[in-house]
Amino acid sequence: MITATRTLSASLVEQIRKDFPILSRKVHANPDGSGGKQLVYLDNGATSQKPQAVIDALLHYYTFQNSNIHRGVHHLSQEVTVSYEQARETIRKHLNAEHAHEIIFTKGTTDSICLVAHSFGKKFISSGDEILITEMEHHSNILPWQLFCEEHGAILKVVPVTADGTLDLDACGKLLGPKTKLFAFTHISNTLGTINPAKELTALAHAKGIPVLIDGAQAIPHTAVDVRDLDADFYCFSAHKVYGPTGVGILYGKEKWLNQMPPYQVGGGTIKTVSFAKTVYADLPLRFEAGTPHIEGGIGTAVALDYVNKIGLEAIAGYEQELLDYATQKLTDIRGFRLIGTASHKAAVLSFVVEGTHPTDIGTLLDQQGIAVRTGHHCNQPLMARYGIPGTVRASFSFYNTPDEIDRLDLALRKAVNMLL
C-alpha cells in the first residue's frame, strides 16, 4: 500500500517500481530469453507505464463485469454502470469540476479537442473570426483548428515562442483581439517541458471575453489541476499519459458551454427520443458520448488517478524536479550537447540535440543499450522549424524513474556520441 508523503524517498520509489511489472523486463534478449539489457523507460511523455492496480481493474472488468452500460436492467449492466459513473465522479473530484456531467469521456486528448473544434466552433465561430493557438502546440491542438479555419473561413493566429521556450506574453496580449473567439493552448509543452502560466493566460483571455481550451495531456501526470481555480472553459487530457489505459480521454467543459453545443457524434446513447421527423438529444454528459464507450478504460482511468493521489501530486512534482535537475547537470557537459527548452519553470522533460548527429541515430544507439527515449519532431513540426532543427532526443521522466537510470542514460549517451563523432 502506497502511503502519501511530502517527498519520495529512494525506498518509496523502489516500492513504487514494484507496482509496474514492465520495469523489471529486459529488452533485446536472445530468443531463449538469455542476455538482453535492463529496460530504462524514459519515454513517459509519449505514454506512461501502468501499475498493477490498473491492470487488475481491466482484468476484473472482463472477468467478472463485462456488460454494456446505462440501458440494461440486468445485474451486470446495473453494476458496471455504477462503476463507470463512479469513475466519472472520481475524475470530477480530481479536476475539482463543479458537476460530474461536465466530464465527457472521449477517445483521447485529440478527440476532445476535435469535439470542441466541431461543436463549439460550429456554434460560436464564423467566417472572419479568429482562433488563437501557440507556436509550441502539439499537432493535435493545431490541426483541428487549422481544418476548421479552412472549412469555415476563420483565421488562425499564433503566439510566438521565445528563445528559451516560453510564450511571448506581450505578443499574446496583442493577439487576443475583438475577433478572437477561442484561445487554445497547452498547459505543459510535450517537447520543451515549459509549464505555461495557465491561470494568467486564461485571465488574460477572459478579460476580453474570450473562452479558453487548455490541452492538459502533459500536465495531468505532473501537477495538480483545478479547473475552477484555472477558470478553464475546456480542459482535456488522455488517460494513458497518467498511468491509465490507452483509448480513453477526458474533456472537461463548463456546463454553460456544453449545454449550448450541438452533438459531435450521434448514435446510441446520445438521445432522449428518435423519430423519422425529429430527434431530441440527451442531457449532459450523454449527448457527447455516442455508442458503447471504452467502459473498462473509464474505470481504469479512475483507478490510475486514485493511485497517483495516494502517492501525492506534490511529492511527485518535487521528486520529478529532482530527476530533471540531476539529468540536466549530468548531461550538459557532453560534447555537442544542446538543451532545447530552458524555461525556468519546467516539467520533467529533457529535450536536446547533439551537434553533428541526428536524433534518430542517438535514439537507436541508446535503445541498443536498453534506454527508451523518444526522437523526432514530437508532433511539433512548427516548433522544430522555429529552432531550425529536424527534431530532438527527448527523455521524459516519471516518479518511477531513478537517479541510477539517469546515470545509465548519461553513460549510454556518452558512448553513443563517441561512436558518432
Cis peptide before 262 (omega within 30 of 0): no
Cell of 154: 476563420
CA–CA distance, 198 with 188 (Å, rounded to integer): 9
299/155 Cα distance (integer angstroms): 39
Contact 43, 373 (CB under 8 A): yes
Annotation marks residue 172 as catalytic: no
Q: What one-letter code names the amino acid at 265?
A: Q
Which of 149, 172, 236, 379 is labelled catalytic? Answer: 379
Distance CA 361, CA 411 (A): 16
- The C-alpha cell 473498462 sits at 296
d(CA 254, CA 129): 22
Q: In b/e form, how buried is each residue of 356-377, taking b as 16+ CB within 10 angstroms?
A: ebebeebbebbbebbbbbbbbb
Please give the grid coordinates belonging to residue 77. Answer: 449492466
Q: Which of 198, 216, 206 is nearest to 176 (CA)?
A: 206
Cα diameter, the chain: 72
Q: Sheet containing 337-339: which strands, arranged edge to edge?
A: 337-339, 349-354, 392-396, 374-376
**Residues involved in catalysis:** 379
